[in-house]
Amino acid sequence: MATTSKYKIVRIYANDGISNRTIKSYLTLEQAQEHCRSPETSSRTATSAAAKARTRRLGEWMDTYEEMPAPRIFIQRIGNGYHETVDEFSRVREAMDALRKYRLADPSAEYYLSRRACGGWDN
Predicted pLDDT of residue 1: 41
Predicted pLDDT of residue 114: 95
DSSP annotation string for 88-102:
EESSHHHHHHHHHHH
Predicted pLDDT of residue 105: 96
Predicted pLDDT of residue 123: 55
Predicted pLDDT of residue 57: 95
Predicted pLDDT of residue 94: 94
Q: What pTM does this model have?
A: 0.63
Q: Is 14 exposed, middle or buried (0-12, 13-18, 19+ CB in 10 A)?
A: exposed
Please list the residues that pair with 35 across neighbouring strands: none
Q: Which residues of the chain have pLDDT under 70?
A: 1-3, 123
Predicted pLDDT of residue 3: 55
Q: How far apart are CA 5 and CA 26, in angstroms?
A: 9
Q: Where are the domains of the chain?
A: 7-67, 73-114
Q: How far apart are CA 42 and CA 13, in angstroms?
A: 10
